[in-house]
Amino acid sequence: MDAAPIATAAPTLTYVGTITALVADPIELGPMPGGARRIIPILGGTVEGPELRGSILPGGADYQVLRSETTTHLEARYAIETEDGERISVENVGIRNGSAEDIAALVAGRPVPPERIYFRCVPRLAGSGRWAWLQDRIFLGSGVRHPDRVVVTVHLVE
């Protein structure tokens, strides 16, 4: 007996905040299996949102693999200190894709209009106390790379 498919509503997104991570010059590791690798040190920054506000602590980094001339795999790890003094761990995995010319410009530290770059990510957040619920939710992000910073708008998947 075949069961009829059950229609479910598409998830909605709720704005959580905007992360602005200040970054240093890349550390180029060079070509390796899977693509050229580089590390982008995270120097600090801010988080601004309706509920979540605070600072990005220095010491994090974005570990990148340039898989092709058009696609970069991103994996950033860093910490946020909230306005109330709590700490939140962030592990953010994403993809940045654009034309070969635009990706080369970003890698060289030159600005590229954000509408020409596909930059999406899935931040995993973990905290304690008031922020313990974060690790039980899925978040989606949309990013923009500037020469000196990365701006990621984060939404909660409801």
pLDDT computed for residue 107 by the predictor? 85
Which tens digit of pLDDT belongs to each residue from 35-78?
999 999 999 999 999 999 999 999 999 999 999 999 999 999 99
Q: Which domain holds residue 119?
A: 13-157
pLDDT value of position 4: 75
The count of domains in the chain is 1
pLDDT of amino acid 150? 97
Q: Are 15 and 141 in contact (CB under 8 A)?
A: no
Determine, yes or no, domain membership for 3. Answer: no
Structure tokens at 29: 């590791």
The amino acid at residue 91 is E
CATH number at residue 33: 2.40.160.20
CA-based nearest residue to 54, from 87, 19, 83: 83
pLDDT at 153: 98
Structure token pair of residue 59:
């010491």
pLDDT of residue 1: 58
Does 5 fall in a domain?
no
| pTM, rounded to two decimals | 0.91
Only one residue has tokens 């092709």, namely 68
Tokens of 106: 């970003």
